[in-house]
Structure 1
Amino acid sequence: MTTLAGQEVPEEEQLRDALAERLIEIGAARSPGVVAAFRTVRRHLATPEADMASTYSAEIATITKTDEHGVDLSSVSAPRVQAMQMEQGDIAPGMSVLEIGSGGPNAANLAEMVGEDGRVVTMDIDPDVTDRATAFLEETGYRNVTVLTGDAEHGDPAHAPFDRIIVTVQAADIPPAWVAQLKDGGRLVVPLRLRGLTRTVAFVRDGDRLVSDGFELCGFVPMQGIGENRVRLAVLHEEVGEEVGLRLDGHPEPDTAALATALSLPRTVRWSGVTLGGSESNEHLDLWLTTALDNLPLLTAKPGARARGLVASASPLGIPTLVDGDSLAYRTVRPTDQQDRYELGAIGHGPQGHALAELLAEEIRTWDRDHRGHRARIEVYPAGTPDARLPAGGRRVERRHSRITITWP
């Protein structure tokens, strides 16, 4: 059954309630305010061209715009991800919230949480996106939301300072305006890309620095405008349906010809003895690997490359891969004799494949021995901050506006 503007049909309430219950079940929505927002917001009205039921699926992001190559430019994020960020934001009634990356439904969620005494500003660089958000918010009656069209690199000084800033596009850097417009002690929630790995991080402002207070695995469309800084793909194999490449994010330029040759050579496998449960995420392991190892881009491959035997694993997010000249090694898993448990290991290719696979396996053992129960601490400092002010050890990621550090207990 379709929905007419301003007229609710019975299926809507059922879909909203089912979505809220699913978000509770998977642990994405925990606080009463987040649950209530999803029970209330008529999110399907933002994307009338989409199937109504799909817009209330916890895991489905609704794509609203693509470029001429089919690359996603904007979307309404999956409810699970929206709920996750709302929980990270710790949003309360009366707060002032800036949302960077608009779409409509998430601004409505935030408006529900801040209440009549609060204020939400939602902004996007794309007028098509803000026009859609404006129409949705007017149709659904949210009056405490201001929609702005502009480059979010500069934030919104007219309505600052904000108690919370929620970023719903992937960012590789933290512009100074975001820190300056956030109240001291306020929270910035941002999908931050660190050496190719994206995590939505909840930061707390402490003077001129940001200190992490938890992070979650996520995927978002990249930021556009002045702050755009996209990952570059170095292609190793380009047969249609079998493409293999390395996603580079500040990593050294690889010798693609030598690595393409390496993939055609016999592989070396080294197993670590470290196991994961079937439902246990490897996100903290991968963050440890990118902290500990210097040249670790992400290997991406189409399923056809795995079927042909070029690679043993294919992941849409990419697999951490240690590269050294003409050789590489990437993380892999195999089943164990225990039900729903898998052993971690590494597969090497090329003249140094054996040594690289062993090095990668050894770092997996180090993580298991020293850091498996820990979570990384991520801090953001202004560009130009002296080394003496930065935490000792760990990994430093240098960006135009900021110096980002990843350290472990």
Structure 2
Amino acid sequence: MNKKEIGFTMEEFQGRIQKVRKSMEERGLSLLLVNTPENIFYLTGHKSPGYYMYMCLVIPLEGEMTLVLRRGEVGNAQVYSWLEGEGLVAYDDTDDPLQKTVDVIMEKGFQGGRAGVEFTSWFLTTKNFLDLQTKLKGAEIVDASGTVEQTRMVKSAKEIEYIETACRIVDKAMAKGIEKIQPGNKEKEVAAAFFSEMCLQGSEYYGTEPYVASGPRAGAMHSSWGERVMQNGESVLLEMAATVNRYHGALMRTAHLGKPSETMKEWAKVCIEALNAAINAIKPGVTSEYVDEACRGVIERAGLYENYRKRTGYSIGIAFAPDWGEGYIMSLQKGDQRLLQPGMVFHMPPALRKLNAYGVGFSETVVVTETGCRVLGNTKRELLIL
């Protein structure tokens, strides 16, 4: 038998499953089908880059769960998940995975009723959904999106430990990347330094690549590295994440080559003030909207909202590509009246951009505490002038 490498105790996994089943009961579900890799990881520990192939965790209201997955991925499941034996059902590449899933459901004695499906999952294709409707006889298929996610919003002590370790890796990798920001160097050299240091410090593969954008490329959100040569008089916008046991911590900073313009200095000042305002606003019991207003208000009063126009932050934790965040679970944004609770973790990246000109931004990953919040990184919060 393969040696298990599970990142949590069975007690913690069982607690998560009990919460999900309680939610299932409240929704009147006799069955839940989970296709989202982050949710499957959360409940079983299974992780693999091969999640692009069909995978489904079958959760009856009572009885044992079963993970239906590609045969080639069974080895990973045997190592990283607590499931074993009949809890893992494999399909060959020439099999119909939907039929295999339905067979598993019927073997569990499913007699019809409400079957919950994650309508918002990126990994449940339209074809597979339609096949499921055809093959799962007697079932009322309903939207169960968020059933697992709502239990993921508040992190356990162990989850926070993983995120904090990822943030420490990001601090070190950011410092290594900044060393490569010199006139005449290419953006890809900064990215290479990021990748190398993150791997050496213990990061796994992560949900999104680092962003390295110099000069006019910094004016566009999510600009990644390329062959561009960095030049004196330009800003370089940097954003990156690291991951430990699939838990991410992220960081954004801005460096400037040479003397910055008054605009650049003012924009950096506003971004940092907005970030500080958000950090100071966070505490249990306040709404998501309240934190967003604290951050956005600084930017609006500076007359720069048109260069901003986005949410203040988003939940961060478990992630597989194509994202490193959990914004689909909770975002700090206008109109969101949900209350913050101790143990929630957010990445907050206020940034100002002028398309095809320049950009500046700063961020922190923070955990909500009993009295406020705690910043998980240690990189100095300032415009770095090189």
TM-score (norm 2): 0.35
Greater length-normalized contact order (CA 8 Å, ≥ 6 residues apart): 2
Q: Which has the higher strand share?
A: 1
TM-score (norm 1): 0.34
